[in-house]
Amino acid sequence: MPNFQQDFPNAARYLKQRYPDKEPLSSFWHWATLVLFAILCIATIKQQLLLIGILILVAALIKGPGILLFGAIYSLLVSFFPPIGIVLSALFFLFNIRLLTKSWRVNIVTSLFYLYPLGLSLLRYFTHWDAAWQIGLELLPGLLLLHFVLMQVYYFHPSARQVAWTVLATPFELISLVLPKRFKKPFRTTAQPTRIKR
């Protein structure tokens, strides 16, 4: 079996210097995810909604142009050959099912990232446990759990940046699923007055 590092040592050295291996736990994205999670945990519900709104805006600015371009190409293809819409829809459906089954571990991280802070906000609302030491005690198990779950996810998805981006872009993805795909203007037909023949 050929060994790239032995056969092409100069190219291998260049690629290793250009794209160094970075452990996910020492990545900026891993710690940024934990910091954002901690901010969500200590924030009030209004602050959580504001932060999620900022995440949606950032994801829309990054992913929006690509979605618009893809939508324009899709519409152009379907307008030229309408049956291709059924084939493309079936392919995208199968692709989404495959993506969901492949990334179920990341979906668990995403659920923990958003539902744990929401649970803490509800707990503080109903029990008034809002002292600093109480918030710290509530935050610590969530941080440890998220860190542990992320370590397990990195075995299957070694890119910390990709995992973080998937987690942070999830609110935008959910909003784009909920929004209607088309905005149709209702056509109102005005009834023409009929003349009575005499």
- Flag whether 20 is in a domain: no
Tens of pLDDT, residues 41-64: 998 889 999 999 999 999 888 887
- Flag whether 148 is in a domain: yes
pLDDT of residue 183: 46
- Flag whether 128 is in a domain: yes
- Flag whether 22 is in a domain: no
Q: Which of 156, 155, 150, 118 is nearest to 41 (CA)?
A: 118
pTM: 0.69
Q: Is 27 helix (H, G, I), strand (E, B) or coil?
A: coil
- Flag whether 2 is in a domain: no
- Flag whether 143 is in a domain: yes
- Flag whether 95 is in a domain: yes
CB 168 within 8 A of CB 36: yes
Tens of pLDDT, residues 96-146: 677 666 788 888 999 999 999 999 988 888 888 878 888 888 899 999 999
User: How many other C-beta atoms can be found within 10 angstroms of the C-beta atom of residue 30?
Assistant: 21
The domain total for the chain is 1
To 10 degrees, what angle do helices 45-80 and 160-178 make? 80
d(CA 91, CA 95): 6
